[in-house]
Chains A and B, each alone.
Chain A
Amino acid sequence: MAIVLALGAGIAQADPHPWQLNLTRGVTTWSGEPYFLNNVAFGVCVVIGVLVFGAMFIAMFRFRKSRGAVPEKWSHNTTVEIVWTTIPVIILMVLAYLATRGLVSFANTTGAQMTVKVTGYQWKWRYDYVDYQGKPISKVGFMSKLDALSDKTRQLGSGLDPYAVKTGNENTYLLNVDKPLVLPIHTKVRFVITSDDVIHSWFVPAFGWKMDAIPGIVNTAWTNINVPGTYRGQCAELCGQDHGFMPIVVKAVSRADFAKWLAKQEQASAPAPAAPPAAASSAAAPVAVASVQGGNG
């Protein structure tokens, strides 16, 4: 476990990690918003909790019959009631202000330098690269589904050990795919998200949001990744029997590496099982890439 924690602290924040207690700070320009709001709101709740529960425990101690407490008769106090209605309103207004700020910045999908179309299927994802730096991309798109080792291990009574499903040092049981989505860092990427059958939800905690993939509807969201690395997530809307088995893996690489990777994909220009992702020179996850490809075979 210590290893995993160290790993989590070191490269690319491997989340989730065992005994993780809080949200991830995330790795994008926006992902700090939910993290910050979560921490502020939690702090507010703790303070209110200490006050309310504290008062309750004092009452339970001081005003017990066994200590000879005599009940008082009052049942009303307008001043107090006004105070404890007003103070929460003020606190809520502060929280609402912060949340609205975060929300407005999320809603702004303009100025994207790249567009990726995400389509949910029972039970895999499809990624289509639509445009990059103003140029349309044709025929770069592929399916991304649970890696073979996880898939074998997860069968009922497989006898295989989930703890043995690893990518490098990291356990990637149910959090690995045959072909990850590759994205450049420091680029505002706009996602258009939809589904071909039932509702799914595209959720990568390190990006700070999830967005439902709904048939007949195209949702938009965006991200701008700061740190190269491999980020894992899962489908977050019940979509049938294998809902737990359609993870999401995003490999964030430098712009230069991304350009190379994209060129290769465009050359291959074949639909699904095109060339494997080029070996990334990003320091973050060479091992990961190697075994992602291993899982493919």
Chain B
Amino acid sequence: MAHEATHDHHDHHHAPQGFFQRWVMSTNHKDIGTLYLIFSLTMFFVGGSFAMVIRAELFKPGLQLVQPAFFNEMTTMHALVMIFGAIMPAFVGLGNWMIPLMIGAPDMALPRMNNLSFWILPFAFTLLLSTLFLPGGGPAGGWTMYPPLSLQSDSLAYVVFAIHLMGISSIMGAINIIATILNMRAPGMDLLKMPVFVWSWLITAFLLIAVMPVLAGAVTMLLTDKYFGTSFFNPHGGGDPVLYQHVFWFFGHPEVYIMILPAFGIISEIVPTFARKPIFGYKAMVYAIASIAFLSFIVWAHHMFAVGLPLGADIFFMYATMLIAVPTGVKVFNWVATMWGGSMTFETPMLFAIAFIILFTIGGFSGLMLALVPADFQYHDTYFVVAHFHYVLVTGAAFAIMAATYYWLPKWTGHMYSEFWGKVHFWCSVVFVNVLFFPQHFLGLAGMPRRIPDYNVAFANFNMISSIGGFLFGASQLIFLGVIVHCVFFSKKKAADRVWESAKGLEWTVPSPAPHHTFEVPPVVHDEELAHGHVND
């Protein structure tokens, strides 16, 4: 069956004509990639609008706009939508589009599953977002959903089922990516010749398969505790609320790396292109990603230093967490070394990549500070943590996604985006994101707890600055939308096949826009065509 279906397409290079056929029934990795990216962008704006509500309420002391309960729904939904709706699908979309092009495969290994794993998402998010309109409101216990608080929510069942769906989608996506990378590489594309982006996704996919079921288990236990009389986390029945936190963070910490490893891959593609020099230490980069992935399984309790762990556990998790800084540092040093001795130009993708390196590193610094347990007793659950994870997630993951969009958009559409407006978008974003998040370090150090709708006047100054930065950062993203729409529909400037002067890798050997079907005949891989120079010296 599947074979027949793929067979039909062999004779024509064009997409199916009907809208429904092309998009809803698609089994084409490029179309599905596009769907993922559009979905992710939509969720980026939905989640962003929740953030605007949060920052508006925090603009000054006193409650002006929303009730505290709704404020909590906003923080919870903002995080869930951004993590599961914006960042993760964006990476899957990029993987869908680029992995087959980068390894010389005609499509993903499992095209129908690919379709399914995308089309689950709109349903999952409809379920999740619908809770905002139900009596009782949406989930308000934080994205971490700690019991017993999360068990007080009327919308728990909706959220749990939505998470199950997202988890199924992610697992199918991950299986597909692993199957594609392991089975469909063009002859000559050895594992250690793959672009770093492909490597980063291979490792991420294993993380996904390992931890999404853990999350599913954790939330299912919430569900049975609430509706079926179990007592996994209920102390009155002999359960333990802290057990949930262990299970959740066993998922949660690898999850944060799921959101950053593909970003590392993207940056490792972009920097060499615009430095016109092969990536420094290709093997070290791959090993660093692998060791970060491994370590991410043994650091989870660094989110729980305040629950009263035994001394030995505190010490173990502190040391393991600090260890992660080493491979992370190696990556940063290698990017800088790639630039050193290069011949750099600063198109928009490169600007975002450079901002990523600097600002992600700042997030890594605060991460290192958070790892020191006695200091974490102060930082934990304050705005210092909020600043930390927004530096790694917004100026880390999201900036990498934007860099990737600018980098590959001409390949996808066949047109150049407006470099001028791309740069405007970059400079607005990079300035305002710091106005938004940097002052939050100070708020946290001064002791402002996170997830509060109102605060003492001592916190007023930095909150107002942060809110102004937030509104402007939010507005700047409309420029991003404009640049994309312009490039897709209106740009007259044709993109070359090799869009960037010294871009290397198979994806630049196919025409721009990439035709509906590529590499139906496996390409011949020439080592000097690959992005990372000589692997073996």
Q: Interface on A for B, CB 8 Å cutoff?
A: 4, 15-24, 33-35, 37-38, 41-42, 45, 48-49, 52-53, 55-56, 59-60, 63-66, 69-77, 80-81, 84-85, 88-89, 92, 95-96, 98-100, 102-104, 106-107, 153-158, 160-163, 171-175, 193, 197-199, 201, 203, 205, 208-212, 214-217, 219-220, 233-245
The 5 closest A-B pairs by CB, nearest first: A216-B235, A244-B452, A219-B308, A102-B374, A209-B377
Point out the residue from B277, B374, B453 that lies within 8 Å of A106, measured CB to CB.
Answer: B374
Q: Interface on B for A, CB 8 Å cutoff?
A: 61-69, 72, 140-142, 146, 148-149, 152, 235-236, 239-242, 275-282, 284, 306-308, 311, 314-315, 318-319, 322-323, 325-326, 329-330, 332-333, 336-346, 354, 357-358, 361-362, 365, 368-369, 372-375, 377-378, 380-382, 442, 445-462, 502, 532-534, 537
Flag if B148 contacts A198 (CB, 8 Å): yes
Complex contacts, B502 vs chain A, CB 8 Å: 71
Flag if A69 contacts B326 (CB, 8 Å): no
A to B contact number (C-beta, < 8 Å): 310
Flag if A238 contacts B354 (CB, 8 Å): no
Q: What's the minimum C-beta distance from B291 to chain A, rounded to whole angstroms?
A: 11
Complex contacts, A64 vs chain B, CB 8 Å: 343-346
Q: Contacts A49-B362, A56-B339, A84-B333; is A234 near B308 (CB within 8 Å)? A: no
Complex contacts, B344 vs chain A, CB 8 Å: 59-60, 63-65, 69
Alpha-carbon distance A71/B453, docked complex (angstroms): 52
Flag if B375 contacts A38 (CB, 8 Å): yes
Flag if B63 contacts A215 (CB, 8 Å): no
Alpha-carbon distance A21/B449, docked complex (angstroms): 15
Flag if B343 contacts A215 (CB, 8 Å): no
Point out the residue from B308, B318, B452 that lies within 8 Å of A99, measured CB to CB.
Answer: B318
Q: Contacts A92-B322, A172-B456; is A63 near B342 (CB within 8 Å)? A: yes
Flag if B336 contacts A37 (CB, 8 Å): no
Complex contacts, B374 vs chain A, CB 8 Å: 33-34, 37, 99, 102-103, 106, 208-209
Complex contacts, A193 vs chain B, CB 8 Å: 308
Flag if B369 contacts A75 (CB, 8 Å): no
Flag if A21 contacts B442 (CB, 8 Å): yes
Flag if B322 contacts A236 (CB, 8 Å): no
Alpha-carbon distance A205/B502, docked complex (angstroms): 53
Q: Contacts A16-B446, A103-B311, A205-B447; is A171 near B457 (CB within 8 Å)? A: yes
Q: Contacts A212-B306, A216-B240; is A71 near B276 (CB within 8 Å)? A: yes
Q: List 30 A-B contacts (CB under 8 A).
A: A17-B458, A20-B442, A21-B442, A59-B344, A65-B344, A71-B342, A75-B277, A75-B533, A96-B318, A154-B454, A156-B67, A157-B63, A161-B62, A171-B458, A203-B447, A211-B306, A212-B307, A212-B308, A214-B242, A215-B235, A216-B239, A217-B242, A233-B447, A234-B449, A240-B72, A241-B72, A243-B68, A243-B451, A244-B451, A244-B454
Interface centre among B67, B149, B330, B462 (most CB of A within 10 A): B149
Q: What's the minimum C-beta distance from A214 to chain B, rounded to whole angstroms?
A: 6
Q: Contacts A16-B446, A56-B354; is A210 near B306 (CB within 8 Å)? A: yes
